[in-house]
Structure 1
Amino acid sequence: MLCALSSCGTPGDPQPPRPPIPVAITDLSARQQGEAVVLTFTLPAQTTEGDPLAAPPDVEIFRGFLAAGAAAKAGASLALVYTIPSAVADTYIAEGRLRFADPLQPADLARYASERLVYFVRTRASKRAASADSNRVALHVYPVPEKISDLAATVTEPGVELRWSRPSRTTSSTPISALGGFRIYRAEVEPPAIAEAVADPSKAKLKTPLEILGVSPSASYRDTQFEFDRTYLYVVRSVAQYELDSVESADSNTLLLTPRDTFPPAPPENLVVVLVPATPETPAHFELSWGISQEPDVAGYHVYRSEQPGQRGTRLNRELLPTPTFRDMSIAEGRGYNYTVTVVDRAGNESAPSASVSASVPISGVAEKEKP
């Protein structure tokens, strides 16, 4: 009887299920961007036993400070500073990686300028057990230049001319010891979201990601890599230089811009007017020709005629002329005419008139062509 009673705790009895433990994160990285440290890593999708996780795990972020020269040892004491619940983890995912910005106060950036920040993360699929610690990352943090707040632009034919004021102080109100220039970023905005983006740039839906467009040593930049009638989002970041390290400021004010082509082409050149005498089959007329426009977006040409010198007069063609030639059949003997031509681009901009060329039709039928 005693033996029977003692067998009640044998291995064959039901055991409580083991909690799922996510595999440890191994690709944690960190970089300073403005007054924040941006952490990125890949969320685990499996447990340590190789089973798939039913949902994204909770994320726990640990942070601490190290004195200059100290090693980021696994046993160093770091405090839990943030928890990202499973229910909202997917809102931090971008291009397959979780991205989290740890904001730092300007006073902290100044206070810990000679120290390093250290981070590691853990994940939990159950309250009963957490994953092992991720790899640890350590980085210096520095005071950053004040945010640029007056980014503006002017659209010119060669490009979008960006300009802003050069910052002189950090967010900690200390002078910038060495400003290493500026980085210009640009993204294209989805057309259906333009109205919403104009009202609130933070809600802009991007057609292309925000990427670096170029760098500038001065507080201006010309963007020549744009297309008219597309909407772009611009931001600029200052770069402060610290010995071998550099750090960007926060984004400038957001500039939304849709460049429009309002720039007329150059006027045509080398207009020539030649009288073609009448034949039994064809009345006398003028043949006009001029140089082909070198503009890259030519849509066509217009021809104007006036009987008063210095006036453009009446347009003779109803539709744009695709080639630089025209035949004027509506001339009369004894009359003098002044001709000009213009070029029109695909945006509908019309050039100034070409140099005027005068020609007359003598009653005798012999044209007396005059130079402009």
Structure 2
Amino acid sequence: MTAACLRDIRLFVPCLALFVSACAKTGDPQPPLVLIPKPAADLAARQSSDKLVLTVSAPVENTDGSPVSTLAEVEVLRLVEERAGNLPVKNEEEFLARAQLLVKVPAQKLPAYRQGGKLVFHDDLVFEDRSIIYKRGLRYAVRFINGKNQTAGLSNQVYVAPLAIPGPPRGLSFQLGQEYIRILWPPPETNLDGSTPPRIAGYNVYRTEDPRSLPPAPLNKQPLRATEFEDREFQFDKTYYYLVSVVGSVESPYAES
């Protein structure tokens, strides 16, 4: 083969490649990818004194199974309704028509609400008539919203009927021994709303080395019936802070001062 023929072949190959590329078959049009966080399924509520604490896991997965990357905000909603037992779950349309927005938190501010792997929200139960707290039931739900203001719907709903319970005991005292620290306290005489007798299912004792934080679990495994507790799991040369709370109800939802 001559040199001229070689030159002709080299010039032809690029042209062939361009022709093939131009004739390639394109795929069918695809709808735009929509990423929406999956609704929460573990919303829970408990009473703390005359307030309510809501906990829920932060979203980690979209409805299509992909990791969450478009979360824009979290909404907490509350519905005030008649107090009754075994109320059915509201359908989403009915709930949204009657509920009020309790709090809306932008995604960039959620780290301030994280505690122990959960998002924690507080409802201070601010009503013009404070007595309504113990006369009505409260139903809660949350929803996750993406950057396009889209949501996959409400979380599970939780219903709470707040109880009039005592505040924490006052006048704690201590007795020190070689092997124990004994904490003693007088029982409360009234509930937070002034009613009697005080609703006391037991007591919890908490210990911390940082007075600004409360441990997630008390020292006692079960609510105490007695008004004293011996701490035998301590170390010398450490400073401890103790807090005693009243357990008003061990049923769900849990109520503690």
Q: Does 1:238 align with 2:246?
A: yes
Q: How many residues align structurally?
A: 222
Q: Which runs of 4+ in 1 moved over 3 A?
A: 12-15, 17-20, 105-110, 241-246
Matches within 5 A, 1:140-289: 140-187=161-208, 189=209, 197=210, 201-202=211-212, 209-214=215-220, 215-240=223-248, 247-249=255-257
- Report the structure number with the largest CA radius of gyration: 1
Change (3 A) 1:185 1:37: same
Partner of 1:236, secondary structure, is strand
Counterpart for residue 122 of structure 1: 143
**1:278-357 aligned within 5 A:** none
| Corresponding position: 1:72 with 2:89 | yes
Q: Percent identity?
A: 27
TM-score by length of 1: 0.52
Match for residue 44 of structure 2 among 21, 26, 29: 29
* 8 Å CA contact retained: 1:55, 1:86: no
**For residues 244 and 87 of structure 1, what CA distance do their matches in structure 2 show?**
32
* Alignment partners' CA distance in 2, 1:240 and 1:50: 41
Q: Which amino acid aligns with 2:89?
A: A
Deviations 1:238-264 (A, max 9, x none): 123599986211xxxxxxxxxxxxxxx
1:60 aligns with 2:68: no
SS in 2 for 1:212: coil
Higher helix share: 2
Q: Is the 8 A contact 2:71 2:147 kept in 1?
A: no
What CA distance in whole angstroms lies between the structure 2 residues aligned with 1:243 and 1:31? Answer: 10
Structure number with the higher strand fraction is 1
Pair 1:242–1:231, CA change in 2 (3 A): closer
- SS at the partner of 2:110? helix
RMSD: 3.1
Distance (whole Å) between structure 2 residues aligned to residue 48 and residue 102 of structure 1: 29
Is the CA contact (8 Å cut-off) linking 1:19 and 1:126 kept in structure 2? no
Structure 2 stretches lacking a partner, 5+ long: 1-27
Q: Higher relative contact order at CA 8 Å, sep ≥6: structure 1 or structure 2? A: 2
- TM-score, length basis structure 2: 0.73
The equivalent of 1:259 in structure 2 is none
CA contact (8 A) 1:123 1:131 kept: yes
Identify if the C-alpha distance between structure 1 residues 109 and 143 changes in structure 2 by more than 3 Å, giving closer, same or farther.
farther
Amino acid at match of 2:42: D
The 3-state SS of whatever aligns with 1:87 is helix
